[in-house]
Chain A
């Protein structure tokens, strides 16, 4: 029976581990991840060099650009006076020592920028994926077990709408409706105007406020978090719903499910033990990738809601040709996907014991 349920994990598909211990597996994946990151730095660096335009032209004003000493001083400051291969070697050398360079936009170390912006995105994406998992699984299961009946039809309509509507437009509509018209949610930003953020522990305001016992501040931060998180979650809810439905329907047609029903097992037990559990293998993969996407792809929502996350930082870096900023974001995004894949593979081992014991 297990063989029927058995799915190939991403690592197996790529010829990865099969019967290793968890420790060895993680060590190997981390080593591969480091090599991948190195490759990504090379690709990112090369691509940013190919982008037309002079970063100095974007960062210096009209008069300053006409003064060769100012332009030279600027290039020296950011290491752009050296040949490109040398710039890359210097960058990697600094990267190994934990130095991501100096942002031309913020004029601060990129690592400091990322330390400030990433927790905001992580907080937003975490709430969004939480909503997505709850509603995506719930709607997916309901749709599957009520296949082609009215609940399924309604969910299909809603989820197709969720997948089709552009997030940017949805952000504006939700903001207009729920903030401006109905006053259900506060305006944009992470806190009300003029409110001091809690002292940084994690950088996530809700968590930090709780850790400091500032419950009113927690509530304020939480209210600000809700609307962008809901907007961000809608697409993922729709995807997870469709995927959960499809996975469950596929499994419902298997002989072993029919056999379980024929044995007279309660339907809830059949769904929970024989359908949901194997379906989770695929759903976890999608959820992992979706979380990575939420972390890396919230640019539009962050812009509309003035959410100071890495999406906004990436946008500012891109339009300002801030090469260290772009590189820093690329490394973070690559790291997110590598880590998410690793976590998904580890989760597989817990969901499907056959992967642990062969």
Chain B
């Protein structure tokens, strides 16, 4: 047994050695940042697929490209409705909003020192159009030309009042045309196959913005460093590190000060945080229900009385409470920040008696009605599954029996876009920050209208209104038309606007100037 004792000692020795090694590895976290650098660390759940400005179309990419690439116009703070000068010092529009003339800033330089001229703007816009990428449709009907070195003219095939807000989007980021061309870029017709510059733009900056790209990844970290040749005022932080982290980790990092900003926390998650600033705003994402208006899909959901029964059965206060701090009821399909948005007083109110009366006018006998949504999905802290359950519970109070149909996102998008679902729960985030994005999508015969089975001839008055607002150049008249468009939708359409999501930013106390923005979440160049 003496040898067995020796064996035990050996085991103990090995265990002790391993424990010693393990414990020696456990150290306090340290910062590797040089004292001279002002580094800002942002935790985010990555959703960008590229940083090529003419290909990216996700809010994560918007935030990064906003810092790297200048646009003709831009937005300040949270206001995404009023474009302000950036590379363009001023612009004018003709009476029918078909010709826009932009006068460029002569001092602007790309990060390699090359002067930014109208040729670069035209190149970037042509590339956006011809690359046939995700955001290419933003250039539909638009043509950019350069009559001189510092003038750009955008001509629209049809009146387009949204041009100033469209060109403020990061997709219209101006690239250094010579540099991009030298690395495989191509902007003319055929760019969908000939352009090979995406990988280059994912590794190197070709912009004139306050930051330059220094590290790129889709899964770990994107680093931006201040552009020493920036034509404007130098940004407050010399380096910005954006890291891919889960929500749970973001909550810990920002409290511990390892991250300065957490971008993706839900209102509920912020309740338990301490020692941080919580900036709660309202997002431009509008969640809506639709009840398919196509009788071939469902004779029940296409009945306007059924649609109104759903509309009045919902308890909107409970829905906003469910979505959390910052959320508001969507008074109409156009979010509150945009021109012509409805006022809270215009919003639909719950009226159970009316809902029951409308339901009684239909042939509905309590059979299950399918409600399709993105199963397992979540957006801006709101879970589709949970939201659908709340809605189902509310509708059951008036006798509407929903059959919840959570579906993988790929399949759910396919049936939604094919217009074959009886009812659907979805959200809409604007492609460009203007009410025209809603009138051109949610009308009868329009893209989302057709998904909800709303045929082109289903509501001639609404169609007439959409056509009128498209060519109206007077801002006040346009706002009135957008309001009427939404009131019409609230009165008689397959769409039931529900809520606007909350927009939450959590930051450490030392970050100043933080504001939520519906296009790029937060403007990195405004932070101090």
Contacts and interface: CB of A to CB of B under 8 A. Distances in A.
Interface string B12-43: 00110010000001111111110000010100
A330 B41 CA distance: 35
A353 interface: no
B1 interface: yes
Q: Which of A183, A187, A196, A222 has the most CB of B within 10 A?
A: A187
B372 to A, nearest CB: 13
Interface in A295-338: 303-304, 306, 308, 312-313, 316, 319, 321
B409 A175 contact: no
Contacts of B409: 53, 58, 319
A35 interface: no
B37 to A, nearest CB: 8
For the residues of B in contact with A, the DSSP-based class is mixed
A194 B39 contact: yes
B134 A57 contact: no
Interface stretch (A3-11, A62-70, A78-86, A89-97): A62-70
A265 to B, nearest CB: 9
What bracket does the count of chain B residues touching chain A fall in?
35 or more
15 contacts: A53-B412, A54-B413, A63-B138, A64-B134, A107-B49, A108-B199, A179-B256, A183-B29, A186-B29, A187-B256, A187-B259, A193-B259, A220-B32, A306-B246, A316-B218
Contact of B256 (A107, A180, A306): A180
A54 B7 contact: no
Nearest to B1: A267
B27 A313 contact: no
Contacts of A55: 410
Interface of B: 1, 3-4, 6-7, 11, 14-15, 18, 25-33, 39, 41, 49-50, 57, 132-138, 140, 192-193, 198-199, 215, 217-221, 223, 239, 241, 243-246, 248-249, 252-253, 255-256, 258-259, 408-414, 417, 428, 431, 441, 447-448
A193 B431 contact: no
For the residues of A in contact with B, the DSSP-based class is helix
B261 to A, nearest CB: 12
B63 to A, nearest CB: 17
A286 interface: no
B219 A313 contact: yes
B132 A190 contact: no
Contacts of B410: 51-55, 57-58, 321
Given A53-B410, A319-B409, A194 B223 contact: yes
Contact of A193 (B132, B241, B249): B241
A290 to B, nearest CB: 19
Contacts of A54: 410, 413-414
B137 A64 contact: yes
B246 A64 contact: no
Contacts of A192: 29-32
A223 B25 contact: yes
A186 B219 CA distance: 18
Contacts of B6: 268
A268 B7 contact: yes
Contacts of A220: 32
Contacts of B41: 193-194
A195 B134 contact: no
Given A57-B417, A64-B134, 7 more contacts: A52-B410, A53-B408, A53-B411, A77-B193, A190-B220, A193-B41, A223-B25
Contact of A63 (B50, B199, B431): B431
B218 A105 contact: yes
Interface stretch (A20-28, A135-143, A277-285, A344-352): A135-143
Contacts of B11: 138, 141-142
A194 B414 contact: no
A67 B129 CA distance: 12
B132 A61 contact: no
A268 B4 contact: yes
A134 B4 CA distance: 20
B411 A308 contact: no
B249 A308 contact: no
Nearest to B192: A73
B203 to A, nearest CB: 11
Contacts of B245: 188-189, 306
Nearest to B3: A266
Contacts of B32: 192, 194-195, 220
Contacts of A134: 14, 18
Contact of B136 (A59, A70, A106): A70
Contacts of B244: 306
A189 B49 contact: no
B374 to A, nearest CB: 11
B132 A69 contact: yes
A271 interface: yes
Contact of A53 (B14, B223, B239, B413): B413
Nearest to B32: A192
Contacts of A172: 248
B199 A185 contact: no
B262 to A, nearest CB: 12
A64 B431 CA distance: 10
A194 B239 contact: yes
Contacts of A77: 192-193
A52 B246 contact: no
A194 B219 contact: no
A60 interface: yes
Contacts of B132: 67, 69-70, 73-74
Given A61-B57, A194-B223, A316-B219, A267 B25 contact: no
Interface string A149-193: 000000000000000000000001001101110011111111011
Interface string A180-216: 1001111111101111100000000000000000000
Nearest to A71: B132
A315 B137 CA distance: 29
B219 A308 contact: yes
Contacts of A58: 409-410, 413
A37 interface: no
Contacts of A57: 410, 413-414, 417
Contact of B27 (A52, A59, A194, A223): A223
A73 B136 CA distance: 12
Interface string A208-251: 00000000000010110010000000000000000000000000
Contacts of B28: 183-184
Contacts of B29: 179, 183, 185-187, 192
Contacts of A74: 132
Contacts of B239: 194
Contacts of A65: 417
Contacts of B30: 192
Given A53-B411, A61-B57, A304 B136 contact: no
A53 B414 contact: yes
B431 A61 contact: yes
B375 to A, nearest CB: 12
A38 interface: no
A13 to B, nearest CB: 34
Contact of B218 (A67, A106, A180): A106
Contacts of A321: 410
A32 interface: no
A246 B414 CA distance: 52
Across the A-B interface, the 6 shortest Cβ-Cβ residue pairs: A53-B410, A266-B3, A63-B137, A52-B411, A73-B132, A267-B4
Contacts of B7: 145, 267-268, 271
Contacts of A260: none
A269 interface: yes
B96 to A, nearest CB: 24
A64 B413 contact: no
